[in-house]
């Protein structure tokens, strides 16, 4: 093989997602931003959305300076009209979406009897309804192309309970069920649906108190798991990844 061929093959190996477009909801900070950066480093064009327009534009400029094909749009992904506009603008600028990462989420903690109906709606709409809406918007195109990856960022709280976690756990337990059913509905169309379930992550996310950085995950750990899922061989799919820190939180 000539040197030109070798260089081309090396480039292809370094950028396995060069022909892909990824939509990452909640992609302006924390886990979402790390995921978008990781997918971009593997060659994908990325579309990010968020509710904070200033942060969104700042993140988009940062990505563009690094040579990333990027689209950034203010959107509330719990609103169908915002989702439709986001999908149309993304595909117009970058092309068909081949990777969807449903990452947008919030945490709200405390005794269940102290929470309001508004609290319930806010958590469920952001953590669960948004996944339904964005998936319903993106899936038809993936079905037509008979390929695609959908990754839902869930949590180990979707499998465990703890005091003060009622709203958050309910949303993530629901997301676990939704993800499993989505996987069965779409696998016949060549679409792989996976859940990433991290434990505690050191981010700006509204958690339950200060975290020892040596005993929690980083946003980049979650991004690595997403990259693993989307670069696996074409004949298989990783349905779920449980991600824990090596150092156990709370241990002395």
| d(C-alpha 109, C-alpha 126), whole Å | 15
135-144 own/partner pairs: CB under 8 Å, 24+ apart: 135/100, 135/102, 135/182, 137/83, 137/84, 137/87, 138/23, 138/87, 138/97, 138/100, 139/186, 139/191, 141/91, 141/96, 141/97, 142/97, 142/98, 142/186, 142/189, 142/191, 143/186, 143/189, 143/191
- What DSSP element (H or E) covers 36? helix 30-41
Q: How many CB atoms lie within 10 A of CB 239?
A: 15
168 flagged as catalytic: yes
Structure tokens at 94: 């970058």
Helices (H) and strands (E) in the chain — how many of each?
8, 7
Tell me the C-alpha distance between 65 and 208, whole Å. Answer: 35
- Which of 63, 109, 168, 173 is the catalytic position? 168
Q: Cite the active site residues.
A: 168
């Amino acid at each position: 093989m000539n040197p030109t061929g070798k260089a081309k093959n090396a480039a292809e190996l370094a950028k396995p997602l060069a022909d892909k477009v990824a939509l990452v909801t909640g992609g302006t900070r924390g886990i979402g931003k790390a995921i978008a950066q990781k997918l971009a480093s593997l060659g994908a064009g990325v579309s990010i959305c968020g509710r904070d327009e200033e942060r969104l534009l700042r993140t988009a400029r940062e990505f563009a300076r690094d040579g990333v094909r990027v689209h950034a749009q203010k959107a509330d992904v719990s609103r169908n009209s915002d989702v439709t506009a986001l999908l149309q603008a993304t595909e117009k600028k970058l092309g068909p979406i081949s990777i969807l990462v449903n990452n947008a989420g919030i945490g709200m903690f405390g005794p269940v009897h102290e929470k309001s109906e508004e609290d319930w709606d806010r958590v469920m709409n952001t953590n669960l309804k948004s996944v339904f809406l964005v998936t319903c918007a993106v899936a038809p195109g993936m079905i037509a192309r008979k390929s695609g990856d959908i990754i839902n960022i869930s949590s180990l709280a979707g499998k465990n309970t703890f005091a003060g976690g009622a709203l958050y756990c309910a949303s993530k337990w629901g997301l676990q069920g939704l993800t499993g059913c989505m996987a069965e509905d779409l696998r016949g169309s060549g679409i792989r649906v996976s859940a990433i379930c991290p434990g505690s992550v050191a981010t700006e996310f509204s958690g339950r108190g200060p975290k020892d950085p040596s005993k929690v995950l980083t946003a980049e750990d979650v991004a690595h798991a997403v990259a693993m899922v989307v670069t696996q061989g074409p004949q298989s799919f990783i349905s779920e990844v449980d991600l824990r820190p090596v150092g156990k939180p709370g241990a002395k």
